[in-house]
Structure 1
């Protein structure tokens, strides 16, 4: 019997009767990630937390709602991941989580490091992705989003400049291909109407194998040039992009109210319920950081309003 492609197997790990899930959520705390170990060695730390997510159906209306329940730290709900690899004095800035077969993978958006997470707190480096095509600069790839398409893992970046418009394609053995996605990113900018002066920042994307569609949920959308204070406080988006495989047919869908200082940093299709999604929204204003979890469906309905999960920045969520 032939094996299912990885993207479909990921969605079919649970059936339509599933109502309880375990989430993995990872932090990207930028400069705050640096620590000193007991032996005096400098290292970088990220927090991996686990939570429960419950799907509930109202018996009278049939409406679906999701409910988050935190697993306390003392009940193995929180673990520390330690990295000894940095670039420019920064490391362990993990921006996404993807379950690739049986392996939970995370990506350091500072160093380009690709790691497997084992035994809840062990980082196993597997690859270092380099910026752009991989040939032009000795700089780690700013990994921001990742998903499975067929038997490959696709890793992408913000898409704000030419280097960040390349994607990385990894197979199950971590063999690597770099692909220029300039036209795809440009088509998304055009669909959002940002014009030549504006920009779009991507940190969350999923390939939907049943719909044969790309789903992108931009973190920031602006019709004016980048201005950091304005970007932090006013450019958070609530517009989901739905595109055919070559991005020649794109439609957009607003999901819930727009909260200007919150932008989507990760989302996932929910196994067993592939028209429903879970996502993270991050706030990053100066030293203030917050993360919210929300759920929605691909018709535009909110299934869980923004729920504060911590006053730190999380940029990756996966369903285990």
Structure 2
């Protein structure tokens, strides 16, 4: 009997693996629009590759170390999309290995694309906001994870249409499910109250532990205020829920840096209780991205490591 895709993903490498290739994708918002050589307007994103080394010292302590691959050695590629909504496109917010396919999600248009040959985008589905029947508006995809043989895609959960999730099968067949109760249970676990909010951009299903792991980017017990949100609402608490969300708890990971919030994280194949993650800063025109690593006991395995002055919102292990 073949293994489900979520198990296969974690068993692509075993516990002896100590070097991984990362794919990291940018969401450059308004800066994504470009003019091609033929004069055509398009939208672009950067896909970069890096190496991640897992090192164990004489005491058994695990540390991770990032090694950047220079652009001239194939460490950076341009992805170009000709599809936009409201004059914006190619705002890719997540990366997931779905079987042997690297899949990304445009949080502006709702496009789901396979990435082939390092720089070719192949559209496979268009997700629409909410149930899909409400408005002609692309789904604001923010997080995605494998659950069995299905791909679960979610939004930030701040408003009712963004509490729906999209479920894609291996052939990109689509179902929409309202997750309002699950988002509400996570808000309650984080203690934000009726006036506050939680913004999600990172989640993983853990098939061995049968648990949902959500790492909110922003958490606030006060109403949304953009200037305050950008500088002060970064979060460092991981939300851990059992499969049906009947038990939800939180776990602090390292120290909170209020201007940094988690935009993506992944379980490490071969070491499934260890994770890599991205943190991003977005204050006015200033953007920064950092990579960090941690385990599910709450220990930081790599401190925040600066990777660029642009906003990276998706990471995956190839």
Q: TM tier, shorter chain? A: over 0.9
Residue 263 of structure 2 is aligned to residue 265 of structure 1: yes
Q: Deviations over 1:157-178 (max 9, x none)?
A: 0000000000000000000000
Find the aligned partners of 1:306 and 1:161 in 2 and give their Cα distance.
30
Find the aligned partners of 1:211 and 1:62 in 2 and give their Cα distance.
23
Secondary structure of the residue that 2:181 maps to in structure 1?
helix
Secondary structure of the residue that 2:158 maps to in structure 1?
coil
Partner residue in 2 for 1:298:
296
Residue 308 of structure 2 is aligned to residue 310 of structure 1: yes
Secondary structure of the residue that 1:292 maps to in structure 2?
strand
TM norm structure 2: 1.00
Residue 114 of structure 2 is aligned to residue 116 of structure 1: yes
Secondary structure of the residue that 1:31 maps to in structure 2?
helix
Partner residue in 1 for 2:143:
145
By how many angstroms is 1:191 displaced?
A: 0.5
TM norm structure 1: 0.99
Find the aligned partners of 1:74 and 1:172 in 2 and give their Cα distance.
35
Secondary structure of the residue that 2:8 maps to in structure 1?
helix
Partner residue in 1 for 2:6:
7
Partner residue in 2 for 1:52:
51
By how many angstroms is 1:274 displaced?
A: 0.2
Find the aligned partners of 2:314 and 2:272 in 1 and give their Cα distance.
19
Alignment of 1:72-111 (within 5 A): 72-111=70-109
Q: Deviations over 1:271-320 (max 9, x none)?
A: 00000000000000000000000000000000000000000000000000
Find the aligned partners of 2:154 and 2:243 in 1 and give their Cα distance.
15
Find the aligned partners of 1:223 and 1:35 in 2 and give their Cα distance.
39
Find the aligned partners of 2:121 and 2:152 in 1 and give their Cα distance.
20
Find the aligned partners of 1:205 and 1:90 in 2 and give their Cα distance.
25
Partner residue in 2 for 1:219:
217
- Aligned-pair RMSD on alpha carbons? 0.3
Partner residue in 2 for 1:31:
30
Q: Deviations over 1:133-162 (max 9, x none)?
A: 000000000000000000000000000000
Q: After TM superposition, what 4+ stretches of structure 1 lie above 6 angstroms from structure 2?
A: none
By how many angstroms is 1:107 displaced?
A: 0.1
Partner residue in 2 for 1:17:
16
Alignment of 1:284-295 (within 5 A): 284-295=282-293
Q: Deviations over 1:213-267 (max 9, x none)?
A: 0000000000000000000000000000000111120111000000000000000
Secondary structure of the residue that 1:293 maps to in structure 2?
strand
Secondary structure of the residue that 1:229 maps to in structure 2?
helix
Residue 124 of structure 2 is aligned to residue 126 of structure 1: yes
Partner residue in 2 for 1:281:
279
- Which consecutive residues of structure 1, in runs of 5 or more, have no partner in the other structure? none
Residue 154 of structure 2 is aligned to residue 156 of structure 1: yes
Find the aligned partners of 1:290 and 1:134 in 2 and give their Cα distance.
33
Find the aligned partners of 1:232 and 1:40 in 2 and give their Cα distance.
36
Partner residue in 2 for 1:69:
67
Find the aligned partners of 2:155 and 2:193 in 1 and give their Cα distance.
20
